A and B are shown apart, each in its own frame.
Chain A
Amino acid sequence: MARPSLALKDHWQEQRLFLSRIIAAGVIILLLTGLLVMRLVQLQIVDYQRFSELSQGNRYRIEPLPPNRGIIYDRNGVVIAENQPSWELVAIGEEIENLQETLKALEQLKLIDVSEHNTLRDLIHSHRGFERVKLSNLTEEQAATFAVRRHRFPGIDIQEALARYYPFGEASAHAIGYVGSISLADLERIDRSEYAASSQIGKAGVERAYESTLHGRVGYRQQVVNAQGRVLFDPTVKAHAENVSNLIGGLESKPPVPGDNIVLSLDMRLQLAAQEALKDARGAAVAIDPRSGDVLALVSTPAFDPNRFAAGLSRADYNALTIDADKPLVNRALAGTYPPGSTVKPFISLVALEHESIDPHKTLYCPGEYHLPGQTHKYREGKGGIHGPMDMHDAIVRSCDVYYYQLSTMIGIDDIAAGLKAFGFGAVAGLDIEGEKSGILPSPEWKRKRFSRREDQAWFLGETVNTGVGQGYMLVTPLQLAHAEATMAARGEGHPPRFLIGVEDGTTRAVKYLDPTSLTPVAHNPEHWDFVRDAMVGVTSEAHGTAREAMKGLTYKVAGKTGTAQVFTVGQEEKYKEGDVDERLRDHSWFTAYAPADEPRIAVAVIVENGGFGASAAAPVVRKILEAYFAAEGYVASEP
């Protein structure tokens, strides 16, 4: 390495420079030390009296004040989640003499649950000694039980608090979620000082997704307490000020900032109607406003009572919910994936029309089953029977599988996959709460990625045939299907589904509404949109329409499609008979619809697990949701 400067090194000059730097550093060191000593003199000599009294006779405690959690409204201002006064049992760790025995004694009085013993002990240990840790919620009776024995429990207290209350209970469970006690895991991901006074945190659904909006900001007040923990001085109580204020300088308080209230897209009338219609079944219903992506209803049954979570569910009760065979904690609307069955046919038709795979007025003959050329495997007509000659319109109206078996081979799997992808199949719909599954949109490319063994990766024509009727690998969630249906209703002008439509400032009460966002439009020829819509209207109105009975007598046109998702594969020579199959292996029943067909305002997807044929179980649920929606026409007309 060349070092041109070497010859020019002037050592005496460098030494002088270094000396001047060291002298400067020495001066700075002395100045800073002087500053530090002055500070120490100020603390230890000038302010000695104040600090001495603070540390010796008194304890200086900062009492955190919880913010009120924001209220959740539906689109009409109906309260879905609010705060109600309640009693809480709290522990102040540093004042408890024997934690183990105190907890045992509380268990004997049935004020806390035995199974929570270790959890509560760890929770108390993980807080600072003076922090109040919530142990449980108390009924009025329990509060009285404790009140008369309070002297036996130093460090344990009851305090009034606001508890979360969900007036609609089960009906809002899966959409709104619930709040629960802050767990050790939650403590890892939150700003602990913001939650110093809060005992609950959003655990699921909207409560979790908008936790930071709803929670608000913690407040505090500084207090002086004596060794027994009795408050000697509290700046918010004026009478105290004169007695001890000479001891304390600068005691402060800061009021908590309440959380913001949020306005959801839900319409509780629809939500209740859907819950009522599905209450005895396992299933899900999602209703979306195609003009904005607003989720008007989102129901999954069976559900659970979120108020039990807010009140503090015991471990045993929670375990009972998790092992329930009907899986009430699973949100089927977002996380249930099912084959879409025939509900996929209108989308396949649009793809076929776009690619001119067939003249829609040309008829194909339906003999009740279909064979691929040179193969003996039978692709059966879903409901059995022989439809005879079918054009595309009739094939949608009567849900002819054989027509779509043939049509899908004419389109080809790549175009089918691309066409369905545009409607959002195979990807999460983007609802603003957690837990959505993406389902499966099968294609040769998907298969190559999904399977590692080469022989599993090949795509067979028979799989194209199955995809054409929404069977085989394809899986969708009820939310995805409702979203695709909404996009179809809006003739391709899709919006991401959303819950949050407005935020009300917790203090000023000013409401800010959020504009809906748009997705990349799905482009199709207007005539093709009309063709498919007319066929779907035929499903609910024509003589052979599969949902004619279910939609009979409605005053507006409904574009609909039934679907039947196979759970159980019957043998080649057998016939599927509902009575013969175990209830849990029966077909799932789908119905999707939008209405009014000419000017759609609502799109719905409903699944009833093991409900059998689409028209029999799911269509009546859709009808009840539509009735609830249009019964409120007066309100709908005055919508913002």
Chain B
Amino acid sequence: MSLANLEWGRTTGAGRWRPLGGLVVDVPLIVLLCLTAGVGGVVLYSALGADMGLLMRQGMRFGLGLAAFFVLSQVPPRYLRIFTPWVFFLGLALLLVVMVEGEIGKGAQRWLDLGVVRFQPSEILKLAAPMMVAWFMHERRLPPTFMQTVAMVLIVTVPAFLIAEQPDLGTALLVIASGGLTILLAGISVWVMVAVAIAGLCAAPVLWHFMHDYQRARVFVFLNPESDPLGTGYNTIQAKIAIGSGGLFGKGWLNGTQAHLEFLPERSTDFIFAVMGEEFGLLGLLVLVVLYLAIVGRGLYIALQAQDTFTRLLAGALSLTFFFYVFVNAGMVSGLMPMVGVPLPLVSAGGTSMVTLMAGFGMLASIHGHRKLMAP
């Protein structure tokens, strides 16, 4: 009997540790997430200027994230899959609503105001895009055919385009990354990847030819921020000084001069990695990196244990996307990569992305907790 024909059923907990009366609780994942957020909170307290009130707000956000985590942990993956198209198209529709409202109001086009809550529909797509790709491939044969690949690329690029129009290039990039990683995991052939890369390289000079001077100037600054030391380059230079001056052991908690004398921009959000480096040194950063790797490792383990295409692709993509966030942020702050406004997951202050992230981990926990035991 083929696995695809098996219905996902609630497992009877035989051999599985379920302390809360059959509730799914992924202990390793929870411990790792809480540890990371805890370390983050310590750094954030310093970055926020030792303001307990502001730190409590971040704690509330993490609490909200944990709630989302627990709720989604209980939803069997079968339902996640059934709801995927609804969530995806609702997200798209909301993006269009924000766009139209923005047109009318001539103002910011990112936020949707529901009276009580304000949120960015683009956040939904960070999860919905990889889910939709996984949904699309769920009952199809892997690796995908050419036409299927095209369809998946559209699933990712249409919302990414709408988000880029807002304009929010950072989030658009993250949607492309999460969706793109799902496509890669679906097994498109290595040759297709090579062909796309070559086509991209060939298209670049053509595109360059048609660009205006000011657009080219922006690309230059993007590639080499230090050519603009008064603008974006300023941040990179100051962040490098902060990290470098931390040394092996750091200057000590609350003692980062770069951060506290306000040389370091955005220190509680995008640049918090530099605060950590300044105050806790290389050792502190290594602890953080190890924690992140452990979370990614747990995610990939869950992906390997998953039993059908949808959960396998989704779990893999969510884990890889998480690493992508970490690497883009740390790489940007330490001057390895161009400036992209991506927060450091679980550590940077900020609400919506924290909830989205924790919701994603909730799905991972659910995928693991609802596996059907197989006969060896």
Contact = CB atoms under 8 A, between A and B. Distances in A.
Contacts of A59: 263
A45 B309 CA distance: 45
B248 interface: yes
Contacts of B293: 29, 33
A47 B334 CA distance: 13
Interface residues of A, number: 49
A367 interface: no
A62 B234 contact: yes
B281 interface: yes
A218 B3 CA distance: 66
Interface string B293-326: 1001000100110000100100010001001000
Contact of B316 (A18, A47, A220): A18
Contacts of A19: 304
B266 interface: no
B330 interface: yes
B71 interface: no
B231 A54 contact: no
Interface string A8-22: 111100100111011
Contacts of B263: 55, 59
Contacts of B141: 5-6, 8-10, 14
**Candidate in A22, A41, A47, A55 with the most chain B CB atoms within 10 angstroms:** A55
A210 B46 CA distance: 47
A129 B262 contact: yes
A54 B241 contact: yes
A51 B300 contact: no
B244 A18 contact: no
Nearest to B315: A22
A264 B298 CA distance: 70
A39 B334 contact: yes
Nearest to B336: A39
A333 B281 CA distance: 67
Nearest to B256: A55
A36 B289 contact: yes
A21 B187 contact: yes
Contacts of A193: 228, 230-231
Interface residues of B, number: 53
Contacts of A54: 241, 244-245
Contact of B303 (A5, A22, A40, A222): A22
Contacts of B240: 43, 51
A25 interface: yes
B300 A22 contact: yes
A51 B296 contact: no
A51 B231 contact: no
B368 to A, nearest CB: 15
B327 interface: yes
Nearest to B238: A60
A60 B278 CA distance: 17
A52 B303 contact: no
B211 interface: no
B230 A196 contact: yes
B288 to A, nearest CB: 11
A57 to B, nearest CB: 10
A553 B229 CA distance: 67
B140 A5 contact: yes
A32 B140 CA distance: 32
Interface of B: 2-4, 139-143, 184-185, 187, 228-231, 234, 237, 240-248, 257-258, 262-263, 277-278, 281-282, 285-286, 289, 293, 296, 300, 303-304, 309, 312, 316, 320, 323, 327, 330-331, 334-336
21 contacts: A5-B141, A9-B2, A14-B309, A18-B303, A18-B312, A18-B316, A32-B323, A35-B336, A36-B334, A40-B286, A43-B240, A44-B248, A48-B244, A48-B247, A55-B257, A55-B258, A60-B241, A62-B234, A128-B234, A191-B231, A193-B230
Query: Which 6 A-B residue pairs are closest in the complex by CB-CB distance?
Result: A51-B244, A193-B231, A5-B141, A55-B245, A193-B230, A43-B244
